[in-house]
Amino acid sequence: MRTFAYSRADSVDHAAHRTMPDTAFVAGGTTLLDLIKLDVLKPENVVDINALPLKRVERLDDGRLKIGALVTNTDLAHHPEVKSHYPVLSEALLAGASTQLRNMATTAGNVMQRTRCPYYRDPAAKCNRREPGSGCDAMDGINRMHAVLGGSDACIAVHPSDMCVGIAAIGATLTLQGPDGEREVDFADFHRLPGDTPHIEHDLADGELITAITLDAPLKNAGSHYLKLRDRASYEFALASCAAQLMLDGDTIREARLALGGVATKPWRCSDAEAALVGQTADKTSFERAADIALKDAQAREHNGYKIPLARQAIVRALRNAARGDKPASETQESQA
């Protein structure tokens, strides 16, 4: 393990002016410290931001919900505003990781987490994301866990977050603070597709940090569901997951929100499928058609073709449960370590 300089920031402004190259911010440390120990990330400077005043959740006058960057995943999942108005986010959070990890992991850290592609985490493997231009051992390797949406010839790594799939289906804005001041970015634009530059993962400049995530106002009277399909029932990443929200007028769909996880290189909003659902009857035929639209551009490699029918099932079941407003116990259990 390499050495690095450690310091604590005592204000957001102080943190945002830590513009030395090779600086990493640490909060819960659930991704960063692992990757430092594996020699995948090699920051010269690590700035601890745990003392910053970014732990509030507040309802804004326009109905949106502002979440401080350092709110833990546990606190957010159980916050009354989230449970009442954004249950799809609460479910997504509780489906992720383990109790211990959720107690440490923060909202902004979850947004910033790195892929779990095993080749990325192995410095002996070729990985364009870790070392630009080196190649990608996943393309012709064991790619069972890899993406079928949003990939490129350079990288097909899945974005691992559950929380981000819930947020993608809700809609949100990120507040970023940097040396040049504050700016806001649409959550949908924050994570980048890999393209030719998979090592550039986010729209975050040197010295910038996320200070808040503001959720769009909730859909009124909408049913919702987060469904995660995985190899085992707890402490496991998604093979395919779906966050769905439906606002109904009788049996007719008035508004729909749909996002996928476990199958794409970024939290994957399905806008075309949402548009196709509006005005339709909330039934199996409409849900299957939406799933086909959501997955029409899916591309499989040697070992991950099963993800396409699996994601189709996840979409249909999540929409069905959102429409019914019920939540089968087996699909909503809190993940336990």
Interface with ligand SF4, residue 138, by CB under 6 A: yes
Beta strand residue intervals within the chain, DSSP E: 5-8, 23-26, 45-48, 57-59, 65-68, 172-178, 181-186, 209-215, 223-229, 240-249, 252-261, 268-269
Q: For 22, which DSSP code?
A: T
Shortest Å, Cβ 138 to ligand SF4: 4
318 binds ligand SF4 (CB under 6 A): no
Residue closer to ligand SF4, measured from CB, 89 or 117: 117
Minimum Å gap between C-beta 131 and ligand SF4 is 9
Among 214, 168, 188, 212, CA closest to 64: 214
Taking the complex as a whole, how short is the minimal distance between the CB of residue 139 and ligand SF4, in angstroms?
7
> Considering the complex, what minimum distance in angstroms separates the CB of residue 10 from ligand SF4?
35
Nearer to ligand SF4 among residue 23 and residue 128 (C-beta): 128
Q: Between residues 136 and 310, which has the closer beta carbon with respect to ligand SF4?
A: 136
φ, ψ for residue 170, nearest 5 deg = -95, -40
Q: What share of the chain is helix, strand, coil (3-state, %, to 5)?
A: 30, 25, 50
Dig out the tokens for 264 from the structure.
Answer: 């794409």
Task: State the minimum distance, in angstroms, from the CB of residue 99 to ligand SF4.
Answer: 28
23: closest CA among 12, 10, 34, 32? 32
d(CA 81, CA 296): 36
315 binds ligand SF4 (CB under 6 A): no
User: Using the rule CB under 6 A, which residue among 30, 90, 110, 115 binds ligand SF4?
Assistant: 115
CB 258, CB 125: distance < 8 Å: no
Give the nearest distance from C-beta 198 to ligand SF4 in angstroms.
5
Looking only at the bridges linking them, the beta strands covering 209-215 and 65-68 are antiparallel
Q: Does 158 bind ligand SF4 (CB under 6 A)?
A: no
127 touching ligand SF4, by CB under 6 A? yes
CB nearer to ligand SF4: pick between 78 and 192 = 192
Stretch that binds ligand SF4, among 132-140, 223-231, 232-240, 315-323 (CB under 6 A): 132-140
156 binds ligand SF4 (CB under 6 A): yes
Report the SS3 class of residue 33. helix
Question: Given the rule CB under 6 A, which residues bind ligand SF4?
Answer: 115, 117, 119-120, 127-129, 136-138, 155-157, 198
